[in-house]
Amino acid sequence: MTELSTDQPHPWQQLAEHVWTLQTDGLRMNVGLVVGTERALVIDTGTGPLQAAWILDAVRQMTDRPITAVNTHAHYDHVFGNAYLAAHGVEDFWAAERCAAVVIEHGDKWRAAVAALEPAMASNDGDHTNLHPANKLVTDAPVDLDLGGVSVTLFHLGRGHTDHDLLVGAGNVLFTGDLVEEGADPAFDDSFPSDWIRTLGKVAALDDLYDVFVPGHGSPVSVDFVTTQLNKMRSAVRVTKIAMDEASVDMTKAIPILPYGPEQSRVLLTRLRTLAHWKWLERQSS
């Protein structure tokens, strides 16, 4: 199958037969593309209609097949382009079970985050700025999608960056969403750090199936990078929990010794405190 137009430059990086990735400006978010003889799969849809239009344009330089979309998770840079794609013929949007609910619950609050990139999306005032949550949900069992001669597997391995991170395997390439982050610290805001470590262990154990791991942001990496991220996170969570147990100690003193920048260290600290508080509340009520 030759779909690549050779007379036009395109921004895609080919990772395997039928599999490409495209990095957006600014957030360096990775859009995935898998092309079969019947359909094309687009992984993650951008920050709003402007970026989605750019993505769709790039996809159309590669293939004219009907498109199925996937959201790796509900964060704005991965789903806000859904409405634009839906208005341009995309019917099926896949995601992990909780993703659609999270988009509905938090989507409006996240609009402010794209004010610089997508003013219309931020103010919800313009075409294709509505929230468009996924309508095809992956529950406990993995889902195989047949794109025509090429199949992809959608699956959830447990909580991590969010409670609904979806992985997409295509050939020897695994799209990990923000479970893996290259070029920046992992984002802990909505995360479950202890589960994240376990989930990364499961991701790393898939190295007999996959050679290339595509992070949500940054450059594609090997399994060694995933293992390094796991080990770093494990020691960060350990250090933070020890600081939390020593109640007399000023917790912010843990920040300089964490393996992350001050901002994400602070987010990790806050998140672990919040989760500990939730656990405490749960114990009180049971």
Positions in the binding site for Zn ion (CB under 5 A)? 75, 178
The distance of closest approach from Cβ of residue 170 to Zn ion in the complex, given in angstroms and rounded to an integer, is: 20
The distance of closest approach from Cβ of residue 178 to Zn ion in the complex, given in angstroms and rounded to an integer, is: 4
**End-to-end distance of the chain based on CA atoms, in angstroms?**
59
Closer to Zn ion by CB, 147 or 166: give it: 166
Closer to Zn ion by CB, 179 or 237: give it: 179
The distance of closest approach from Cβ of residue 114 to Zn ion in the complex, given in angstroms and rounded to an integer, is: 13
The distance of closest approach from Cβ of residue 54 to Zn ion in the complex, given in angstroms and rounded to an integer, is: 20
Nearest CA to 137 out of 166, 180, 106 is that of 166
Q: Which residue has the tokens 């597997």?
A: 153
The distance of closest approach from Cβ of residue 75 to Zn ion in the complex, given in angstroms and rounded to an integer, is: 3
Spatial distance between the Cα atoms of 276 and 233, rounded to a whole number of angstroms: 17
The distance of closest approach from Cβ of residue 189 to Zn ion in the complex, given in angstroms and rounded to an integer, is: 8
Closer to Zn ion by CB, 171 or 190: give it: 190
Backbone angles phi, psi at 96, to 5 degrees: -70, 160
Closer to Zn ion by CB, 39 or 75: give it: 75
How far is CA 114 from its chain centroid?
16
State how far the alpha carbon of 148 is from the alpha carbons of 18, 34, 74, 221, in Å: 11, 11, 28, 27
Closer to Zn ion by CB, 163 or 178: give it: 178
Under 8 Å between Cβ of 163 and 177: no
E-assigned strands of the chain? 13-16, 19-23, 30-35, 40-43, 67-70, 93-96, 136-138, 143-146, 151-155, 167-170, 173-181, 212-217
What is residue 50's three-state secondary structure?
helix
Closer to Zn ion by CB, 25 or 250: give it: 25
